[in-house]
A and B are shown apart, each in its own frame.
Chain A
């Protein structure tokens, strides 16, 4: 069912485009059709699938790891670390000189954030310490990003940074999608290798250990896989939030509560939801294009508030 939805959404995404005068359908004149397809629609669609899938998968894994439906890939601080790494590339003007430097900066930022996480929480870190460390890293990355904006060499550079941080699938090319895939695929594999360990954690760390699954190992796998795949996503599309929070939560009652059952469906649904949000952006009437990160945040943040309120009333399951 999810596969079918994803195929349809992908087809629609390839068909719908946007020009300065609003949405456009099909591929235009024969001579430009191939260019529209390979240069615009295909990279945009592929990146939507890759980034959305990564966010859904890692969201499901992190919620399983932290045994909390309010967890999200962003909480580890790797997204904001990646964003700051990328912002530095913009700040020093490297991004415009060599486009590869942008993903390089973002992945470095995400890995540094991960290193800081391990440093703060320790290798045998308790989950609560990891969450607090994630909050601290997020705060630091946000502060440093603001500093970079504050001292931006020109208003144009500041605007470029700001727009990029809002998160978007527009104007990317196939090479960027390829780089994202090369970095994300090992991240997915690492996260998926932890799936049964996440199931074992359902009954707590001691029971997981007694079932032969070291919770520390499960934790390392999920965190490093997430840093890699989410870092690679931020590197190519900026920060797209809340997909990892919303998707596993929506799916849970349909596909089951065990983390292992939730991971693949969350990947597919994350990809579909991200593409749908991006299609909605392209269908907006003429005017400045909405950024994907803005749309997911506008939908996701109230959803998050609703979840917190439900969790306080003990209704969240």
Chain B
């Protein structure tokens, strides 16, 4: 029995995304998957022309036994929780969570029972693995502030000491989280010239000359006519989708799209339909039905349809099958919104993102969105596209009208980083880092698979999820790694499906081969000890010898 991924519940309906079970590999656009034959080959007329040669993604299915044990462990956790609740009610056990002020006892309770149950009995037990404070740069190596808890993680206290660790948790893809060097000096100069804030919105008195310069360069970098920038990446999605889409429109969204996209869609008031993650048959089938049926109840034709996808999915490490998405988008006359939060800078021969990675035409993507938080070491986001689109957003964006513009130091950080990536600073630093990231990604992913870990996602994705399944193993993995000098992010339910607890690694150009080897050694040791090397799949042979050099 195979457990299907991504159906909301693991045993849910809709088994049409068979291709996600087992590994997916396609060469020159021809799909191979475990015994699944694609029924609708005509759906991808152009895919065979633009398909990338070495596009290879894998999502190894979970063993039945592991899945059952994982479910069991959640059931046991819940049962223990209920028992403790009973003990608390009897006054034997003590609930050390903050309590409602006695003045408000007569008010309707602020939270639902399940919320606090989850926090009290599940999240609390593993809290030490998140929000770990650091005392310095989120660079290739970081100083973790050590914490302890004398009340079973109800609260933490800092010990006052730090521990130097290799950081494979931060989104520092190109290593531009820096505090010295030419870019940092530029940030200092801009802070002294403009100050720390703006205190006004873009439409009023918040457009700095520096911001205008950045917008022009972003547009050029992405091969688009114009671009507009915002102060927060999350808000770029959640506050701009509503200005583009509205009632009578349809948004077709990948199941695993980020919370900011989901919020933007919700605020827009448009109808939303969700397709299976990166599953082109699901997308096409959905579009065909939606256009034929029209709007719900009235059956009027849709005003317009927007497909929303991400470049790299931050929890899966998968890369969007952009050539096929564009072919479908053209066939069904839809528009395409591409969120490049994780892929800008991190993919493509010169860091221009997923469009460049596939060698496609930038203008085929209608709305190019991305953030400056990750590869650029700054904060904020952008939207690039045709002049009509960007003009429309300038006039109608919630963010441009009401929210404060980005501070000068942040703009400067992004601007000088972008110049470096484009080689405008007269060095090859940017290009070198893009290449270093690619090398690190391929090396690290390959080595992990050799060790026998179940590694999700695309071979070229610097986001590397390593499956742990069991909540206990997952948390233990993070703790043991930290103890041995490796900072790694773990993600479990509810951010992932209940059985798919995982460690998530983000590689960086700043990691040296030595650091990576050290990190691999630690993961190998801990993985062996915990028995989380779940892979049963033989490794495919290396297609390109140079990758491993």
**Bound together:** no
Binding site for B on A (CB under 8 A): none
